[in-house]
């Protein structure tokens, strides 16, 4: 997508531009975290425990005397990695399965789709909880569990796109010329399936952050001393009612990040919608 088209899309949808701006600031903060945090995010000061927000600690401190602003900034790194890793794993599994199922059809399609149905039969967060519990607590295992649990959505999405492309003239011509299946899938099917996958991935990015935070909150995701927003909220449960800032600021960071990527996803969906494109033209 060209920069000019992105700029035009931002003008047509201010929310897309706002989401991109917020996400850009989060990426910048994660890259510059070592230089912009006011305190060492791991340093504990028991003389400054549960200090309310002030000029020295704009977000206050937690029960260990750690500066919450510094930890929220560092937690941006973890959250962005979570979103990228989960979406990449889910798409990496689902896209090839969807292309193969849609292209070959028949028993191959039936077998692969029944496999995805097994994963879809579980509630969205129950399967990741079960997989993480089986693999063992930890952020890496939580990301793997989420990616495995979410791949069926990409498989079904790409399968439907492949079925629509399978009978097109350029695919039939490539088959008539004796071109291999792998080349057809890579050069013809995959490029045409990338647009819906990109839109789905932009929407799932925020949900992946939220799901990983949920797993950390119940104790099977990130573990101390890792800095992760969901874990920060979980560790603040005991004192939240008396010291509101301990959980409010990391919770608000989750809210802002998920909102930003959802705005981007909505904007991309509108940008690639042929009906909207026709109206705009």
Question: What are the beta bridge partners of residue 132?
Answer: none
Residue 40, domain member (yes or no)? no
**The pLDDT of residue 78 is above 70:** yes
In whole angstroms, what is the distance from residue 91 CA to residue 73 CA?
28
Confidence of residue 278 (pLDDT cuts 50, 70, 90): very low
Under a CB-based contact definition with an 8 Å cutoff, are residues 113 and 182 in contact? no
Under a CB-based contact definition with an 8 Å cutoff, are residues 73 and 37 in contact? yes
Distance of CA 81 to the CA centre of its chain: 9
Q: Identify the domain containing residue 150 by its residue range.
A: 68-280
Residue 60, domain member (yes or no)? no
Residue 91, domain member (yes or no)? yes
**The pLDDT of residue 43 is above 70:** yes
Residue 85, domain member (yes or no)? yes
CATH of the domain at 233: 1.10.3720.10
Taking the alpha carbons at both ends of the chain, their separation in whole angstroms is 17
Question: pTM for the complete prediction?
Answer: 0.84
- Per-residue pLDDT tens over the stretch 154-192: 999 999 988 888 877 877 787 778 777 888 888 888 888
Average pLDDT rounded to a whole number, residues 221-238: 87
Q: How many domains does the chain fold into?
A: 1
**Alpha-carbon torsion (46, 34, 259, 22), positive or negative:** positive
- Per-residue pLDDT tens over the stretch 97-154: 999 998 888 899 999 999 999 888 888 788 888 888 888 888 888 899 999 989 999 9
| Better-scored residue on pLDDT, 252 or 138 | 252
Q: CA angle, corner 28, sides to 24 and 33, nearest 5?
A: 150
107 φ/ψ angles, rounded to the nearest 5 degrees: -70, -30
Average pLDDT rounded to a whole number, residues 5-17: 64
Q: By percentage, how much of the chain surpasses pLDDT 70?
A: 91
């Amino acid at each position: 997508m060209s920069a000019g088209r992105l700029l035009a899309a931002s003008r047509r949808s201010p929310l897309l531009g706002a989401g991109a701006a917020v996400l850009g600031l989060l990426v910048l903060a994660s890259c510059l975290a070592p230089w912009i945090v006011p305190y060492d995010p791991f340093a504990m000061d028991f003389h400054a425990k549960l200090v309310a927000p002030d000029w020295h600690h704009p977000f206050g401190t937690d029960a260990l005397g750690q500066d919450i602003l510094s930890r929220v900034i560092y937690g941006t790194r973890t959250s962005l990695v979570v979103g990228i890793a989960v979406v990449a794993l889910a798409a990496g599994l689902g896209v090839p399965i969807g292309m193969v199922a849609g292209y070959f059809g028949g028993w191959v399609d039936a077998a692969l789709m029944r496999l995805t149905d097994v994963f879809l039969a579980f509630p969205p967060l129950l399967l990741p909880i079960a997989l993480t519990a089986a693999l063992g607590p930890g952020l890496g295992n939580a990301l793997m569990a989420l990616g495995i649990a979410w791949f069926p959505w990409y498989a079904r999405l790409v399968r439907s796109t492949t079925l629509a492309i399978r009978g097109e003239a350029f695919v039939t011509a490539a088959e008539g010329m004796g071109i291999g299946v792998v080349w057809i899938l890579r050069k013809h099917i995959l490029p045409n399936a990338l647009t819906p996958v990109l839109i789905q991935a932009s929407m799932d990015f925020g949900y992946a952050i939220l799901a990983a935070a949920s797993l950390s909150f119940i104790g099977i995701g990130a573990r101390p001393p890792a800095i992760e927003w969901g874990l920060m909220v979980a560790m603040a449960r005991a004192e939240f009612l008396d010291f509101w800032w301990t959980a409010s600021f990391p919770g608000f960071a989750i809210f802002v990040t998920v909102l930003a990527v959802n705005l981007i996803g909505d904007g991309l969906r509108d940008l690639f919608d042929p009906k909207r494109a026709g109206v705009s033209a």
